[in-house]
Amino acid sequence: MLELVLATGNPHKVEELRAIFASIPEAGPHALGLRVIGLKDLPGHERFHEPKETGTTFEQNASIKAMSYAVQTGRICLADDSGLEVDALNKRPGVISSHYCTHGEETGLSREVRDQANNNRVLFELQGVPMMGRGARFVCVIALAEPFLPGEARLLARVRGEFEGRIGLPASETDDSSLAVPRGSNGFGYDPLFLAAPEFSRTGAELSPAEKNSLSHRANAARLLVPRLRALFSDGASLSGSGM
């Protein structure tokens, strides 16, 4: 069985990626026989340290994480970096999406408090922008790396998935309930603000888990990664340098 380490200690993220790969016929148990595990599934996981994400792009940060954990674990590692891009905000929040309210700094706020503050900042900065100008997308870049020389790793593949939509309007700015946000309880982060394309009638937080796993930026990136995985593990060939 092909075993990949997802470079995260978040069990929900591991389960999400497992579900996504399970929904892709080419990656299922009768194709690749893929098994995704998290860092906490490895012995001695307490010694792993999280690398500093010093990149200015999703691609750079995903690569930093994948290569760092490949060295630390001695295994092939998959890492992702994701966030929200809003066209009217010059692609912000971008790589600081999870800490947008604190300008990218970790200040110890709880996830719930931080999500609310992030959403409030995005809505504030979009005041007065009409619906057609509120285009946005969730972005996910997945990087795959393997340990190479002692203390070094090499990048095997990197793919980018996107999920298009628009940021809705606060209820105070619209009489159309289908455009008013935040709405929904199934998501987190910016999901309650994000009206998913192509209908733009439901937010990311109103989609079922199955719908989200088929439409999301992470799902789209995973689909692009599957052919690379098949090529890599079917004949043992390295994908180093491809997909950059």
How far apart are the C-alpha atoms of 35 and 55, rounded to whole Å? 29
**3-state DSSP call for residue 66?**
helix
Q: Are 167 and 173 in contact (CB under 8 A)?
A: no
The whole-number average pLDDT for the span 98-126 is 94
Residue identified by tokens 């930093």 is: 64
How far apart are the C-alpha atoms of 158 and 232, rounded to whole Å? 13
pLDDT tens-digit profile of 72-84?
Answer: 999 999 999 999 9
Tell me, yes or no, if 81 is annotated catalytic: yes
Model confidence pTM above 0.75: yes
DSSP assignment, residue 103? T
Instruction: Please tell me the predicted confidence (pLDDT) of residue 30.
Output: 54
Instruction: Please tell me the predicted confidence (pLDDT) of residue 27.
Output: 67
Beta bridge partners of 166: 135, 195
Q: In the structure, what pLDDT confidence band is assigned to residue 1 with cuts at 50, 70 and 90?
A: low
How far apart are the C-alpha atoms of 110 and 243, rounded to whole Å? 36
Which domains are present in the chain?
A: 2-235 (3.90.950.10)
How far apart are the C-alpha atoms of 164 and 171, rounded to whole Å? 22
How far apart are the C-alpha atoms of 212 and 16, rounded to whole Å? 10
Mean pLDDT of the chain: 90
- Among 160, 127, 155, CA closest to 142: 160
Choosing from 81, 175, 176, 191, the catalytic residue is 81
Instruction: Please tell me the predicted confidence (pLDDT) of residue 237.
Output: 45
Provide the token pair at 108.
Answer: 């110890």
